């Protein structure tokens, strides 16, 4: 058993953590307000991924990603005060995740995994919506108590507050489990963004449907991280029906999908772990 934290240190940690949640709570009604903590937290995650040598600095894959990412950022940027950036990361399991501060990480394997542009756009729009809704920040605040011991141990080693909090976030990146409501909200906002960007919002539904009857062990992490697909499909379909002026123009048939072109075995150059953290 690890030694319990001294109560003085415990109080100090609790104060630091509550400062973060108070600031974000106080600013929640004003979506345009910039919170420095968000940028700081995002930078801490970026630094960690860079130090693990996972951030892809250059690759032909960016040429495939860029047009979709740019179109989404163009319509979504006005809803988030920090620049939205799509960063490729090397990992074998197809996924994408958003961190506070505007960075959306796209795993290279996702680009090979998706069957069409609409599925990729749907995934990216969903992640951008987590950013806009500040879901990661909210979850970190909620997780503080559970992770207090881990956070306390990290503070003893001397990282910054943001770095300390980010440990909780990065530790969770591969087992993201938002509630069904949070996921559905991100789906709905994401479908609005995709529609505005000109991408058929049915893409996310197609992705869900492909794995609806698959054995849990075979479901890619992308979808097991974001559970309850049946309800999420129903929620999206209802949203499409409720807003025919936006969604009736889009074809629900996956046969209408646009192929997504990605170079086979594209080369990847990684950001060196000792490179500067500035983006």
Please give the residue ranges that form the binding site for Zn ion (CB under 5 A).
183, 186, 226
> Residue 130 Cβ, how far from Zn ion at the closest point, in Å?
6
Nearer to Zn ion, 38 or 183 (CB): 183
What's the DSSP call for residue 85? E
**Whose CB is nearest to Zn ion?**
226
Paired strand residues for 104: 86, 98
Backbone torsion region of residue 149, taken as left when φ is above 0, otherwise alpha when ψ lies between -120 and 50, otherwise beta? alpha
**How do 96-98 and 269-270 pair as beta strands?**
unpaired
Q: Find out whether 201 and 251 touch, Cβ atoms under 8 Å.
A: no
Q: CB-side exposure of 131: number of CA atoms within 13 Å?
A: 37
- The residues, ordered by sequence, that sit 6+ positions from 181 with a Cβ below 8 Å of its Cβ are none
> Residue 114 Cβ, how far from Zn ion at the closest point, in Å?
16
> Residue 279 Cβ, how far from Zn ion at the closest point, in Å?
23
> Residue 122 Cβ, how far from Zn ion at the closest point, in Å?
11
Task: Give the Cβ contact number of residue 51 at 10 Å.
Answer: 15
> Residue 151 Cβ, how far from Zn ion at the closest point, in Å?
24
- Sign of torsion over alpha carbons 133, 202, 226, 266: negative
Q: Find out whether 133 and 185 touch, Cβ atoms under 8 Å.
A: yes
> Residue 13 Cβ, how far from Zn ion at the closest point, in Å?
28
Nearer to Zn ion, 96 or 166 (CB): 96
Nearer to Zn ion, 121 or 155 (CB): 121
Q: Is 251 helix (H, G, I), strand (E, B) or coil?
A: coil
**How far is it, in rounded angstroms, from Cα 114 to Cα 158?**
41
Nearer to Zn ion, 109 or 164 (CB): 109
Nearer to Zn ion, 98 or 165 (CB): 98
Nearer to Zn ion, 5 or 89 (CB): 89
């Amino acid at each position: 058993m690890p030694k319990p934290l001294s109560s003085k240190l415990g109080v100090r940690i609790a104060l630091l953590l509550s400062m973060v949640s108070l600031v974000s709570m106080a600013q929640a009604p004003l979506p345009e307000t910039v919170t420095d903590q968000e940028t700081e937290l995002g930078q801490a995650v970026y630094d960690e991924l860079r130090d693990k040598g996972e951030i892809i600095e250059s690759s032909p894959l960016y040429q495939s990603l860029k047009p979709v990412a740019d179109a989404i950022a163009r319509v979504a940027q006005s809803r988030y005060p920090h620049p939205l950036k799509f960063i490729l990361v090397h990992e074998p399991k197809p996924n994408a995740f958003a961190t506070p501060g505007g960075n959306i990480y796209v795993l290279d394997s996702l680009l090979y995994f998706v069957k069409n542009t609409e599925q990729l756009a749907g995934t990216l729009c969903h992640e951008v919506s987590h950013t806009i809704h500040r879901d990661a920040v909210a979850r970190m605040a909620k997780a503080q108590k559970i992770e207090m011991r881990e956070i306390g141990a990290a503070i003893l080693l001397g990282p910054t507050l943001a770095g300390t909090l980010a440990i909780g976030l990065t530790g969770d990146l591969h087992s993201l489990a938002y509630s069904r409501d949070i996921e559905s909200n991100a789906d709905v906002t994401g479908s609005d963004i995709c529609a505005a960007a000109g991408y058929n919002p049915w893409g996310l539904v197609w992705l869900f449907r492909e794995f609806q009857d698959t054995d849990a062990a075979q479901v890619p992490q992308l979808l097991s991280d974001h559970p309850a697909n049946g309800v999420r499909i129903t929620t999206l379909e209802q949203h499409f029906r409720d807003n025919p002026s936006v969604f009736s123009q889009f074809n629900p048939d996956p046969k209408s999908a646009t192929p997504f072109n990605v170079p086979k075995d594209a080369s990847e150059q990684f950001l060196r772990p000792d490179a500067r953290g500035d983006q």
